[in-house]
Amino acid sequence: MRALIQRVTHASVTVKGEVVGQTGPGLLILVCAMLGDDEGKAETLAAKIAKLRIFPDDAGKMNRSLRDIGGGALVVSQFTLAADTRSGNRPGFSSAAPPDEGKRLYESFAQNLRSHGVPCETGRFGASMQVALTNDGPVTIWLDV
């Protein structure tokens, strides 16, 4: 699985004018299931993100995890993270998992994150979404598992 995480002070996702998910201080997590991914990868990615020390401690060093700060997560599916731009001008997405499998793994990832004690809201899989965020730091990290 692949994720782009952003440390945020606030993030929200809107579908057709309705806010369907949001978080205060914590992470916006854009996630993509890739071909060959399974439940184990969803669990591994969730565990890694829950424990990743990217929040400042009292000395200002990135030394605290999402769980340490009691932060939340907003998880948004984004198959475009699978974009292959090596040739031509139009990205290819053939390395993304098929939609049914992608949805299952996206939901599994969010549930696994919750099982690690992280309050988690989500976007709406397959919908046209508008994502708003205030990136804190800014801190943006790419993860592949």
Active site residues: 78-80
Torsion region of 12: left, alpha or beta (phi above 0 gives left; psi -120 to 50 gives alpha): beta
Look up residue 16 and give its amino acid. Answer: K
CB of 74 within 8 A of CB of 13?
Answer: yes
Two tokens, residue 55? 């929040």
Report the alpha-carbon distance of residue 127 to residue 105 in Å, rounded: 16
The CA–CA distances, whole Å, from 68 to 18, 64, 109, 137 equal 31, 6, 20, 18
Two tokens, residue 117? 């004690």
Report the alpha-carbon distance of residue 124 to residue 3 in Å, rounded: 17
Strands 72-77 and 26-32, how do they pair?
parallel
